[in-house]
A = this chain, B = another copy of it.
Amino acid sequence: MTFAFADGLGFTAAALTTASFVPQAWLTFRTRDVSGISLGMYSAFTLGIALWLAYGVMIGEWPIIAANVVTLSLAGAILAMKLRYTRRQT
């Protein structure tokens, strides 16, 4: 019972942190306003998520694989827009 509650908590946490990148990707796509977005953050974050994905594949955990495929797509898209829309260094 307690363990099932923890599972639900972990699932909700994963869904929220993964889905949170949707409004950021959409805002960046719509406004091309990337001056306040950190290149260092999205470089390190995207690499970190790629390693989480590799970790999930290695230990064969589908929830980790699925969440990180989605997050990798979104964070990678934000990183690509940051690189593309940056006119001068900030």
Contacts and interface: CB of A to CB of B under 8 A. Distances in A.
A10 B41 contact: no
Indicate how many identical chains form the complex: 2
Contact of A90 (B31, B38, B58): B31
A57 to B, nearest CB: 10
Contacts of A6: 55, 58-59
Interface string A25-62: 01110010111111111111101110110110011000
Contacts of A31: 35-36, 90
Given A17-B48, A24-B41, 12 more contacts: A9-B54, A9-B58, A15-B48, A16-B44, A17-B49, A19-B44, A20-B44, A22-B40, A24-B40, A31-B36, A35-B35, A36-B36
Interface of A: 2-3, 5-6, 9-10, 12-17, 19-24, 26-28, 31, 33-45, 47-49, 51-52, 54-55, 58-59, 90
